[in-house]
Amino acid sequence: MTDPWTAFALGAAVALLVAAATMAVTALVAQRQGRVVVVDTAWGLGFVAIAVVAAGVATLLGDGTAWRTLVLLVLVGAWGLRLAGHLLQRNHTGEDPRYEKLLGGPLADVGIGVAIRKVFAVQGLVMAFIALPAAAGALAEVRWAWAVGVGVALWVVGLVFEAVGDAQLASYKKVPKAERAPVLDTGLWRYTRHPNYFGDSCVWWGIWLAGGLGSGWELGLATVLAPVAMTYFLVGATGAKLLERTMMQRPGYPAYAARTSMFVPLPPKRG
């Protein structure tokens, strides 16, 4: 039986090595295609790779609780593959202006070294950190099964918000601009301006409950900053806050923002 701290150390090593390998391959693909946006698709796939390797190591060493290791693999795998497929479809051509702004110009002008330093290395480290509850949990014994159950339930809520929110946005964009409302404010978007980001946060809090806290207070406490970091990026760093700066320039969006919660779903304000 692996104690929580050994499971944490092994999980951290797996997460860091697999994240580094994922980003190294992604950097090669980016250099070949001349665009950094391919890292968005690799983001989801990297988490899947970490979950697969962690499950393989647990099986090889005979560590962890088999059923919970499988649960974590399914949770991370389903989330990561769905996200990767969605982003691949959205970003199959061209470059994302956000990356050109971050790099200070197109990849062809700044060089792959700048992209590795500013994008790939950073995202690799963040990926390894956020994946800790899943990687360590796969190698640890279950202590609190109730936390695993609650985590799975929260994960389901999160994935529904992500998938439905993305589907509603895709349907909205298919309508010609002249025929659609200036702002999507129906469905889940009536209650939160970013249902997909809210869902993403719920997914990773659910994975922390299932993989971190489900292993006991030691591993729960050691990995709790992972979902905190994910939520911070989704709300205050590269997610909603950054997107809001652009969206506020669009007709109708300030009024929509005034009546609609930015993150946590709430009934819209009146008046």
154-178: per-residue pLDDT in tens? 999 999 999 999 899 989 988 888 8
Give the relative orientation of helices 132-139 and 195-207 as an angle to the nearest 10 degrees.
30
Average pLDDT (141-149) is 96
Indicate if the pLDDT at residue 189 is higher than 90.
yes
Model confidence pLDDT, tens digit, residues 64-90 = 899 999 999 999 999 999 999 988 887
Greatest mean pLDDT among 67-81, 88-102, 227-241, 244-258: 67-81
Radius of gyration of the chain from its Cα atoms, rounded to whole angstroms: 19
Q: Is the pTM of this model over 0.85?
A: yes
Nearest of 124, 125, 127, 139 to residue 212 by alpha carbon: 139
> Is residue 239 pLDDT above 80, yes or no?
no
- Is 259 within 8 Å of 268 (Cβ atoms)? yes
- In this prediction, residue 243 carries a pLDDT of 79
Residue 254 CB coordination number (10 Å): 12
For residue 55, pLDDT over 80 is answered with: yes
Task: Average the pLDDT over 237-260 and give the result.
Answer: 83
Q: pLDDT band at residue 212, thresholds of 50, 70 and 90? A: very high
Average pLDDT over residues 3-12: 92
Strand, coil or helix: 135? helix
Alpha helices, DSSP H, located in 4-106: 4-33, 38-61, 66-90, 97-103
Alpha-carbon distance of 227 to 233, in angstroms, equals 10
Give 242's pLDDT tier (boundaries 50, 70, 90). Answer: confident
> Over the chain, what is the mean pLDDT?
91
CA angle 164, 169, 173 (to 5 degrees): 150
Are the CB atoms for 143 and 123 separated by under 8 Å?
no
To which residue do tokens 């070949």 refer?
Answer: 32
Query: Given a cut of 60, is residue 194 above it in pLDDT?
Result: yes
